[in-house]
């Protein structure tokens, strides 16, 4: 029996998986019609087609329509030789073999559109065990406590403590909420679970709702995740049809109904009280705490909020025991963590590893190192709220305390890799642009402080930096961290502080020498033509949009620095390496 699955997460679809699926469907007989699966994490190899035959897996990567024809021919004739060139390479298989997958265990394996596929993989056995065997809410919370599971949304707060606080709060009506907003640039861990294994999220939330005594669960998901919303909606419907959600689940006294709220994608709504405000139909702005959501959250009722990855671990913990999860990781950071590996990396995608591995293990051991062949320079951890960790700290252990000691944070799991061509001042400006725009404006420190920092950084990368700018940035960072109301403002200075700490020489070069060492800041670049190397082919002059290059055929050309707009077109079209950039 042959089963064919096409990887149709957002990354696969963007790479052309839809066309591959259609081509396979048009060529294969009805009994071999392809199915779908989600993202297995190897985004750098999409589109991916998996062929299962008698327990054996053949994985084909970077498949296009022509490749789909080869695969269709192979499965119908039994001659797989013609499709061998599409098979995954052993060194790329290591991308998965070096991981330990719990939250992502079903992603790219099961059919996310079919509840039976999840059940066949052991799904809903944890909630069934709880309800059929009479496991009490207190016992569920104790198991989660033993596991050491901390919130995977960024703060790393103990999950059991939040659940216990919500359970202990008085009130007949309680809410369980999932933060699926995922606003960090370069982060897509939660999206993968939502699209590839939605029932795992639902089961984790059911267990959480049972533990705190909630009968209503709300999934707050960003509207920019349309595929996730479609698959979640279908998953909820299927669960209700199987009496795995809704009223009197599996014949018990426990009821829990799900609802999806599509958010507008405001970064500040990653903060739990701002998310609650948005759920209530208000502008997403943080509330003063206390009271905490566990006592007065959604509609002032006791509420618990965790992110997608946190809930995605829960069913596994119930089935395997808290001790099994706690056995992985470090003393202060238990279990596994999912990272979105992006940037100047050879093998970009999703990585799930036990805490305690090093940054080097992930970036070079799993990610394959820098794709450009340049030197590794830094990695941005934790998104706009995180910091840049330099090359000499590559052996930093991945856990909450060790990463915080560098000035970065674990965050939700964004890991943006940079090489020697990256300007660290420009990188700090990029994240400050983001946080300044995403500030809700409620508190002065964040609203005005991030804007002033953005203006200073802009001035520096434009070659207008002044002595004292770095000290002024540090002063602003300190004030914002101390005075901001919520985590967005309190952590916004991190990219600036870490780049100043580890790459102060680049700030000095921009300010004092009006020079960008990475050759990335356009305003600080100087283009010239090496007369000895120039062949006078006129390609640069013909393609210069500003008319800044003059010269005659077969004679060296010259760039007028006053007219040059530093677009780089001349360097791109020159075939002789005559254009120099300083």
Same domain for 231 and 364: no
- Counting the structural domains of the chain, the total is 5
Same domain for 430 and 414: no
CB of 126 closer than 8 Å to CB of 247: no
Looking at the predicted structure, is the pLDDT value of residue 539 above 90?
yes
3-state SS string over 153-195?
CCCCCEHHHHHHHHHHCCCCCCEEEEEECCCCCCCCHHHHHHH
Query: pLDDT averaged over the chain?
Result: 94
Both structure tokens of 230 = 């479609």
pLDDT of 13: 97
Residue 160 lies in a domain: yes
Looking at the predicted structure, is the pLDDT value of residue 486 above 90?
no
Which distant-in-sequence residues (6+ apart) come within 8 Å of 64 by Cβ?
A: 16, 19, 20, 47
The enclosing domain of 82 has a CATH number of: 3.40.30.10
Boundary of a domain, candidates 40, 69, 97 = 97
Residue 102 lies in a domain: no
User: What percentage of the chain carries pLDDT values higher than 90?
Assistant: 88
Same domain for 155 and 122: yes
The enclosing domain of 529 has a CATH number of: 3.30.70.20
Boundary of a domain, candidates 271, 300, 326 = 326
Residue 22 backbone zone (phi > 0: left; psi -120 to 50: alpha; other: beta): alpha
CB of 108 closer than 8 Å to CB of 8: no
For residue range 345-380, list pLDDT tens digits in order. Answer: 999 999 999 999 999 999 999 999 999 889 999 999
Same domain for 442 and 410: no
pLDDT of 184: 82
Same domain for 466 and 365: no
For 231-243, the DSSP string reads HHHHHHHHHHHTT
Same domain for 319 and 180: yes
**CA-wise closest residue to 411 among 547, 554, 309, 527:** 309
- Structural domain including 143 reads 115-326
pLDDT-based confidence at 190, cuts 50/70/90?
very high
Task: Tell me the CB-side half-sphere exposure of residue 493, using CA atoms within 13 A.
Answer: 26
Residue 88 lies in a domain: yes
Within its chain, how far is the Cα of 159 from the centroid? Answer: 21
Range list of β-strands (E), 299-381? 303-307, 336-343, 349-354, 376-381
Question: What is the model's pTM?
Answer: 0.92
For residue range 247-266, list pLDDT tens digits in order. Answer: 999 999 999 999 999 998 78
Same domain for 291 and 244: yes
Same domain for 306 and 158: yes
For residue range 197-227, list pLDDT tens digits in order. Answer: 999 999 999 999 999 999 999 999 999 999 9
Residue 475 lies in a domain: yes
Same domain for 296 and 269: yes
The enclosing domain of 195 has a CATH number of: 3.40.50.11540
Same domain for 52 and 17: yes
Looking at the predicted structure, is the pLDDT value of residue 383 above 90?
no
Residue 517 lies in a domain: no
Same domain for 550 and 475: no
Rounded mean pLDDT of 469-495?
A: 92
Both structure tokens of 255 = 């009821």
**Positive or negative: CA dihedral 295, 297, 299, 304:** negative
Residue 537 lies in a domain: yes
Same domain for 120 and 30: no
User: For the CA atoms of the chain, what is the radius of gyration?
Assistant: 26
pLDDT-based confidence at 95, cuts 50/70/90?
very high
For residue range 291-306, list pLDDT tens digits in order. Answer: 999 999 999 999 999 9
CB of 454 closer than 8 Å to CB of 437: no
């Amino acid at each position: 029996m042959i089963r064919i699955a096409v990887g149709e997460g957002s990354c696969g679809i963007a790479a052309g998986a839809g066309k591959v699926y259609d081509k396979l469907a048009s060529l294969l007989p009805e009994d071999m019609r392809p199915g779908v699966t989600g993202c297995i994490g190897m985004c750098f190899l999409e589109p991916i087609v998996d062929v299962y035959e008698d327990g054996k897996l053949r994985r084909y990567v970077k498949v296009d329509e022509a490749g789909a024809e080869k695969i269709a021919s192979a499965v119908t004739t039994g001659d797989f030789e013609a499709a061998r060139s599409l098979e995954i390479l052993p060194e790329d298989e290591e991308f998965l073999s070096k991981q330990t997958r719990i939250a992502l265990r079903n992603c790219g394996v099961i059919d996310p559109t079919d509840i039976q596929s999840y059940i066949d993989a052991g799904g809903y056995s944890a909630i069934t065990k709880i309800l059929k065997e009479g496991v009490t809410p207190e016992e569920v919370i104790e198991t989660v406590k033993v596991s050491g599971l901390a919130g995977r949304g960024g703060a790393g707060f103990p999950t059991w403590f939040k659940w216990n606080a919500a359970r202990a709060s008085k009130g007949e009506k309680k809410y369980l909420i999932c933060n699926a907003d995922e606003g960090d640039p370069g982060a897509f861990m939660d999206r993968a679970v939502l699209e590839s294994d939605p029932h795992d999220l639902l089961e984790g939330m059911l267990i959480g709702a049972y533990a705190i005594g909630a009968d209503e669960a709300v999934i707050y998901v960003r509207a920019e995740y349309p595929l996730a919303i479609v698959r979640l909606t279908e998953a909820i419907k299927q669960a209700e049809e199987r009496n795995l959600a809704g009223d009197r689940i599996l014949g018990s006294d426990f009821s829990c109904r799900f609802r999806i709220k599509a958010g507008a994608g405001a970064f500040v709504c990653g903060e739990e009280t701002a998310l609650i405000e948005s759920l209530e139909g208000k502008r997403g702005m943080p509330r003063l705490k206390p009271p905490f959501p566990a006592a007065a959250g959604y509609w002032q009722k006791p509420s618990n909020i965790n992110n997608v990855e946190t809930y995605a671990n829960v069913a596994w913990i119930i089935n395997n025991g808290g001790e099994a999860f706690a056995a992985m990781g470090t003393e202060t950071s238990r279990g596994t963590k999912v990272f979105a590996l992006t940037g100047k990396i050879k093998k970009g995608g999703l990585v799930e590893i036990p805490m305690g591995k090093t940054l080097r293990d992930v970036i070079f051991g799993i990610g394959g190192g820098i794709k450009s062949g340049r030197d590794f320079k830094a990695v941005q951890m934790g998104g706009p709220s995180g910091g840049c960790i330099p090359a000499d700290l590559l052996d930093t252990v991945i856990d909450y305390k060790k990463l915080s000691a560098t000035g970065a944070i674990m965050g939700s799991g964004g890991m943006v890799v940079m090489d020697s061509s990256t300007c660290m001042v420009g990188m700090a400006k990029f994240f400050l642009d983001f946080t300044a725009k995403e500030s809700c404006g409620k508190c002065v420190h964040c609203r005005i402080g991030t804007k002033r920092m953005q203006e200073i950084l802009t001035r520096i990368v434009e070659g207008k930096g002044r002595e004292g700018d770095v000290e002024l940035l540090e002063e602003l960072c300190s004030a914002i961290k101390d005075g901001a109301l919520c985590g967005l403002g309190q952590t916004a200075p991190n990219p600036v502080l870490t780049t100043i700490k580890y790459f102060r020489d680049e700030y000095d070069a921009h300010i004092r020498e009006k020079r960008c060492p990475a050759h990335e800041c356009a305003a600080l670049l100087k283009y010239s033509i090496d007369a000895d190397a120039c062949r006078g082919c006129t390609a640069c002059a013909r393609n210069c949009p500003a008319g800044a290059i003059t010269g005659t055929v077969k004679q060296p050309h010259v760039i007028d620095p006053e007219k040059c707009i530093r677009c780089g077109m001349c360097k791109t079209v020159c075939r002789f390496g005559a254009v120099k950039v300083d």
